[in-house]
Amino acid sequence: MRGVVAIAQNTVREVIRQRMVLVLALFGVGLVAASQVLSPLALGEGRKVVTDFGLAGSSLLATLLVVVLGSSLLHKELERRTIYAVMAKPIRRSEFLLGKFCGLWITAAALIAGMFAIVLGVVTVSYGETPWLVLGAMALTVLELGVITAIVVFFSSFTTPALTAFFAAATIVAGNFADDLLYFGSQGAAPWVARATEAVYWMLPHLTVFNARGAVVHGIAVAPERLAFAAAYGLLYLMALLIVAGAIFERREFR
Amino acid sequence: MRGWGGMVVAVVLAAALIALSGMVDRADRARRGAAAREELLYYPSGVWVRQATLGYETAAADLAWLRGIQYYGEHRLSDQRYDMIGHVMNIVTDLDPRFTQPYVFGAFVMSQELGQPQRGLELMEKGMRANPEDWKLAFETGFLHYVGTHDHAAAARYFARASALPGHPEYAERFAAFAAQRAGDRDMAILLWKRVEATGNKYMQEVARRELRRLGDGAEG
């Protein structure tokens, strides 16, 4: 377990070195500018517009960070051959993978927390009211990022950075269309097609489970049972992915 | 001397760039005007728009809302034709059905600017189906019946519905009673428009002032 923690800490340091603070600063400046420019144009809906853009921007940026940085994390270790030094220590490959996952997820969660804090601050200062309900959406976004990080780590365990980024992005897009896939499969298709689409439906991550951005903006709180369900689903999904990724990575030949 | 030469080249290049930018902008202006109209004409609609936003539907609704206001503002300053406003507000509300302002704004424009209160009422009905507990939508529907279709019985029904919903102000009950008792009363219309003048957005306030002038109310500015 100590090995996992050490690798996670190292991954956090590595990701932070990629100018994450700059991302936060740019996000803050962008949101302040947007609130000043958009508020007069939104006919009294400035608070909603700024909160919406803030939440959507945070989630998009954090997802991009996970996909872009995550897809090359393992590859860098292989390319620089630093993985051999790590593997010489009493640590299993699957633990190494788990450490990478934890490091990336923790960093993404910290980034999300920072960006949501900026949203809360900007909305409070601009409109004199703190939208505390966005914290429920933040918890769900952190869980969503856990699933996305696991997807990235899963693909990076057996393919190149470019393909990892592509497959991860495709899975995220498909995860938002999971319900439609099931619907089309059930509309008079051959039985085997219906069964295949149903299987894909269950395999895809149901990312809509983690999306409460639209609700909190309209003053609807995230219910504790929804949070509990999302946590259970997200943790089970990412654990399953990490187990499969670990098994693949154990068998992978390093060149 | 070489330094001067470099400066002259830089100034000439900068001037050429500015001149070219001006030419490109002029050439683009006509195309942009046509494109803006087409953009709204082919603005995507239907439930698929929601899926295409990949979970960012409320932010997409805000973008469409801002574009709709821009469209209204542009046409207000030019030809005063707002043919696409219903289409745009339908998209905004498909993306974010809980966003109530576009229902009211779109319905007002269709009723008072386009002279198509029925279309406005359809948008309000859509809003009430999506937000059955929102007293404002029921109240504004009553309002549109009163001043748009002049169906005072329907207006009274919607005011009464608004007064039965949580969070309604005391005037909702008063208006329901007024509408039922004194249907067709000019004073009632003035009262309603004055409320819009006091609480609506700047465009709706302008419409309210115009209607108040038309009704011959001397109190307004």
Chain B residues touching residue A213 (CB < 8 angstroms): 55-56, 58-59
| pLDDT tens, residue by residue, A136-151 | 999 999 999 999 999 9
The whole-chain average pLDDT of chain A stands at 88
Q: How confident is the model at residue B220 (pLDDT cuts 50, 70, 90)?
A: very low
| pLDDT tens, residue by residue, B120-179 | 999 999 999 999 999 999 999 999 998 888 888 888 889 889 988 999 887 777 777 677
Statement: residue B12 has pLDDT above 90 = no
Residue that the structure tokens 């002279």 belong to: B115
**For the whole model, what pTM was predicted?**
0.79
Mean pLDDT of B52-77: 90
Q: Is B38 exposed, middle or buried (0-12, 13-18, 19+ CB in 10 A)?
A: exposed
Mean pLDDT of A18-30: 77
Contacts of A78 (CB under 8 A, 6+ apart): A254
- Contact of B74 with chain A, judged by CB distance below 8 Å, is answered with no
Structure-model confidence comparison of residues A8 and B31, the more confident one: A8
Give long-range contacts, CB 8 A cutoff, 24+ apart: B206-210: B207/B108, B207/B112, B207/B113
| pLDDT tens, residue by residue, B17-41 | 676 666 666 655 555 555 555 555 5
Nearest residue to A12 (alpha-carbon basis) of A92, A96, A93, A110: A110
Q: How confident is the model at residue B208 (pLDDT cuts 50, 70, 90)?
A: confident
CB contact under 8 A, A214 and B65: no
The alpha-carbon gap from A214 to the nearest alpha carbon of chain B, in Å, equals 6
The alpha-carbon gap from A217 to the nearest alpha carbon of chain B, in Å, equals 9
Statement: residue B82 has pLDDT above 70 = yes
CB contact under 8 A, A56 and B56: yes
* Domain layout of chain B by residue ranges: 1-42, 132-221
Helix (H, G, I), strand (E, B) or coil at A131: coil
At residue A90, the pLDDT reads 80
Task: Quote the tokens at residue B119.
Answer: 């279309």
This complex has an ipTM of: 0.85
Residue of B nearest to A211 (CA): B55
How far is residue A205 from each of residues A160, A183, B134, measured CA to CA in Å? Answer: 22, 16, 34
b/e code B166-193 from CB counts within 10 Å (16+ = b): eebeebbeebbebbeeeeeeeebbbbbb
pLDDT exceeding 70 applies to what percent of chain B? Answer: 76
Helix (H) or strand (E) holding B90: helix B85-95
- Contact of B54 with chain A, judged by CB distance below 8 Å, is answered with yes
Report yes or no: A181 and A198 within 8 Å, Cβ to Cβ. no
Mean pLDDT of A81-94: 82
At residue A245, the pLDDT reads 93
DSSP B53: T
Count the Cβ atoms, other than its own, within 10 Å of residue A53. 21
